[in-house]
């Protein structure tokens, strides 16, 4: 089946009619995918969210600087967030266990890559796909944070990669929902 046989397009405003955002980002997690059909890479993201940024529907995610997916996002300036039904969770989490920079995880994972009509890569098994174009990559300064918990979180990545986390904002260009999940 091709992309449009599998997914219906919905407006960003309607995501909440179908899903609980806190569950999506906090329990389901999601695959962040960038690249093109010949070479793409995914990692798992958690937390972050969706809302309005400069009045536009926007997603935001936090990345450690060394993620290969982040490098591809910068190169292509576009990416997808893909959310999966529970039955695919193990496979999806596999994408968060090793870097695609020095592994063949995209060939090993038992998920089926598919290109959206705009050319972005995602997976046939997704229940929800959010396509984004890159708006901003910004590095939060720990001195701008007031709660100890948030400072610690931002600081934590510094120990491993000698840099703070990146906050990535993406303009939502398309939202797709699996036809079976459509109400
Ligand atoms: C449940 C889960 C959530 C994760 N959330 C994030 C996240 O929000 N930001 C991040 O930078 N890494 C996160 N990771 C780690 C990356 O997914 C992981 O390091 C991945 O292998 C990076 O792949 P890449 O280098 O191919 O991009 C998470 C991993 C798991 C298992």
The pLDDT of residue 183 is above 50: no
Tell me which of 33, 40, 45, 103 to substitute to probe ligand 1's pocket, judged by most ligand atoms within 8 Å of the beta carbon.
45
23-76: pLDDT as tens digits: 999 999 999 999 999 999 999 999 999 999 999 999 999 999 999 999 999 999
Distance 161 CA to ligand 1 centre (A): 14
CA of 133 to the centre of ligand 1 (A): 20
- The CA distance from 65 to 96, in Å, is 15
Pocket probe mutation, ligand 1, options 43, 46, 104, 156, max atoms within 8 Å of Cβ: 43
- CATH number of this structure's domain 3-181, picked from the four choices 2.30.110.10, 2.60.40.1480, 3.30.465.10, 3.90.740.10: 2.30.110.10
In tens, the pLDDT along 151-160 reads 888 888 777 7
Question: 94 alpha carbon to ligand 1 midpoint, in Å?
Answer: 10
Instruction: Give first-to-last CA distance, the chain, whole Å.
Output: 21
| Helix/strand/coil percentages in the chain, nearest 5 | 35, 35, 30
């Amino acid at each position: 089946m091709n992309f449009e046989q599998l997914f219906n397009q919905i407006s960003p405003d309607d995501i909440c009619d179908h899903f609980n955002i806190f569950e999506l980002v906090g329990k389901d997690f999601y695959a962040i995918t960038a690249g093109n059909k010949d070479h793409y890479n995914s990692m798992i993201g958690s937390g972050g969210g969706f809302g309005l940024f400069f009045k536009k529907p926007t997603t935001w995610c936090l990345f450690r600087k060394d993620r290969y997916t982040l490098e591809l996002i910068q190169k292509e300036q576009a990416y997808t967030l893909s959310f999966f039904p529970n039955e695919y969770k193990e496979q999806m989490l596999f994408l968060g266990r090793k870097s695609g920079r020095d592994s063949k995880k995209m060939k090993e994972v038992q998920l089926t890559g598919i290109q959206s009509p705009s050319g972005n890569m995602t997976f046939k098994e997704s229940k929800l796909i959010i396509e984004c174009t890159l708006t901003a990559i910004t590095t939060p300064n720990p001195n701008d944070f007031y709660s100890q918990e948030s400072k610690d979180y931002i600081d934590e990545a510094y120990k491993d990669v000698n840099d703070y986390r990146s906050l990535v904002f993406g303009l939502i260009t398309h939202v797709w929902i699996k036809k079976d999940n459509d109400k």
